[in-house]
Chains A and B, each alone.
Chain A
Amino acid sequence: MAETLLFNALREAIDEEMGRDDTVFVLGEDVGVYGGSYKVTKDLYNKYGELRVLDTPIAENSFTGMAVGAAMTGLRPIIEGMNMGFLLLAFNQIANNAGMLRYTSGGNYKIPMVIRGPGGVGRQLGAEHSQRLEAYFQAVPGLKIVACSTPYNAKGLLKAAIRDDNPVLFFEHVLLYNLKEDLPNHEYVVPLDKAEIVRPGKDVTILTYSRMRHHVTQAVKGLEKKGLDPEVIDLISLKPLDFDTIGASIKKTHRVIIVEECMKTGGIGAEIIASINDRYFDELDAPVVRLSSQDIPTPYNGKLETLTIVQPKQIEAAVENMVALKV
C-alpha cells in the first residue's frame, strides 16, 4: 500500500496505460513541458516525448476533433481539458463526432478516447471556471460519462476509461485532487459501469457522485449519531446509469435522495428521477427528493458560492425529514 494523492493516482493511471499500450497518448494545453495545470501529467513529457504528451495550442474544438481523427485511425487519445469548462468550445466535436460518429458511420469507426479534467465548483473561481457540465453532455448519444471521487476509484476508473473503445468524458473535481488514500501496490482496474456502495444501510438511499459524495459522508456521521442508517451510493457512471445497483437499493429502502452538484434544471438528478419513475415507481414510499446546486452562474462571493451548492447540513435535514415521514 502506498499513500497517494488523487492527482498522482490519475498520473499513475496514465503512466501505466501509456507504458502498457503505445497507442495511448495525451494531448491538451500545458500537459507536456508544464506538466498539467493540476500536475496530472507531471514528468510524462520527459518519459514519453513530445508526440505522446502533446502540448497543443489553445484551440479546444480543433484539438478535440484531431483526437477524434486519431482515435478513428487507431490511436487512443486522452484529452486533458485544462478546465472542463473550456470544452464548451469543443462541444461540436464532442457531440457530433466523438459521440455520434460511430452510429452515423454505421459502425465503420470506433472512437476510443478519454476527455478528462477538472470541473465543479471550486475556490471562488467565478462562474466560468466553476461549471457543472455533466448535465450538458448527458443527452449526447454515444458518450459515456464518469465522475471519480477518491484516489482509489480515480486511478482504476481512468485506466478502464483509457481501455474502453468508446469516448468517455471523465470528470474530476478541482477540490478533490489532494485527497489521500492508501492504494494497492498491485495493478487494478475499476469497471466504468458499476456504481459504488459507499455505505450500506436500510433507511434511505442517497445517490450522489463526485465531490458531493464527501458532503454526504459528512452528513452521514451526524445521521448515525441520531440512529439513522442511510445507504450511500456513488453513481460513478453518470451515463449509462447503473440501475442494477440503484434498483436493488430502492427495493431495500424504498426512499431516495439525490445529492448532486450539477444544476437542478435538466440535471443528472432530473434524469434519475424520471428513470426511477419509469422503473421503480411501485417500490417508492415517498417522492424522490433531489438536492441540487442552484440554477445560477456560480457566484464569486464566498458566502454566495457556499449557498449555491448543497451543504452537509441540508443533506442531514433532508434525510431526517424523509425518515420522519415514514409510512
Chain B
Amino acid sequence: MFTVNEDLTRKIAHLARLHLTEDEVKTFTSQLREIINYIELLEEVNVSGVKPLTHPFELETPMREDKISHYPKTNEGKSKILDSAPEILYDSFKVPSIISGE
C-alpha cells in the first residue's frame, strides 16, 4: 500500500510531463486521494478463483494478412504523413534537441 501525498502527485505529473503549480499540486493530491479511496473499495471483494479480466468483451482480436498497403503520397512522392507535422526538415520530423540540456 502506498500513501497519496504531494510528492506522489509531483512524480506522476513529471512522468506525464505536466507542469503543476503548487496550488494545483494541492488540488490534485486531494482529488487523487479520493479516487484511490474509492477504488480501494474493491479490495473488500473476494476474488479468489476469479480470472483476471483485461477486456470487458469475450472477443478474439482480429488479425490482418501480411500485405503492404502504402499510405497516400503527395505529388512529389512524399508521404502525406509529413503534411500534419508542425516542423519538417529533410523529410524528417524536427523536434527539440534530445541530447543536450538534460
Partners in one complex: no
